[in-house]
Amino acid sequence: MLMSFLIAALGCVLTGTQAVLIYLDGSGICLNEGCEVVDSLTRIAPIYLNIFGFLFFLVISFGLSRARKGAELWKRFVSLLLLAALAAEGVLFSFQLFITESYCSYCLIVLALVFLCNLFLGLKQLFKGIVIFTAVFVAMASLNFNASPSSHKSLDDGILARFGVATPDRQLYLFFSSSCVYCENVIEAIKENNTCSINFNPVDTIESFSFPGATLTATHAPGINRDYLKNIGIRGVPVFLEKRRNSITLLRGESAIRDYLEKNCSDAPVEQMSLPVDMLDQATSSYPVSILPPEDGCFTAEECEDPNKRPYSIQ
């Protein structure tokens, strides 16, 4: 029980420090880039999640200190809270594994602290925790997240902004990320010289977006854009999609897209592949598409491996 108390105290320090860092600098401690990916997909701001985590570990610490003095009611209450925490961590771990496909190192550390707190309360507590965690994990694994309502929506529902007026004969979509420097280069190229009507479809949440002459949409869902790319086997951005009446052309990577733009959005065959038109609305993961080369694109679930990368907001 003493070890559980010390681990809970460590959890207080960790989550409290994280909350303070987020409040002061806007970002906390994380050993990889998965944290920003996970944070961007949560409904609750990270600072509030960490405040809740701090209060949770604080209650656990206090309860264990009382339990060590013989308070049986506190011991039972703490045991129940730790089991509930393992259930919640099972959901969060499954979310990273099945949905974001990117692991948050900080989240995994918190999971380890909760697991160790259960471990040092005895084998009976550990057994209960493992059963609950496994049950949650199995339930999440049995769900088909690709069958969400967003997968049945049109790409138009994922448009953040429109430049120009598209025609039924030809529609252009640019898939991009807020943290991808290659995407930034493509958008800058579009600003400099472009005669095409283009739809901007982000794969993550964009806090601020402006483009000369573009019109922002009232609502958009980035998850729709992620689902389309994932369902046709693409894991990277930037991606440029040209939809015609009878075909779809995909250009992958900055160089291919810039070549396309330099030719005034012509139909030149530049590192592209054509798909049947119904692939746009009924894309399946069975279609073989190679992953973008790391020097010319970014993984949609991670930021670019670039030391100078920064969150991208067009000014």
Could you tell me the domains of the chain? 2-143 (1.20.1440.130), 149-299 (3.40.30)
pTM for the whole thing?
0.52
Asked if 11 and 60 touch (Cβ cutoff 8 Å), the reply is yes
pLDDT by position in tens, the chain (length 315): 899 999 999 999 999 999 999 888 877 887 776 677 777 677 788 899 999 999 999 999 999 999 988 899 999 999 999 999 999 999 999 988 887 777 888 899 999 999 999 999 999 999 999 999 999 999 988 887 655 444 456 788 889 998 877 777 888 999 998 888 899 899 988 887 777 889 999 998 887 888 888 888 888 888 888 888 888 878 788 999 988 877 888 888 889 888 888 875 654 444 444 454 444 444 433 333 434 444 566 655 444 544 444 433 322
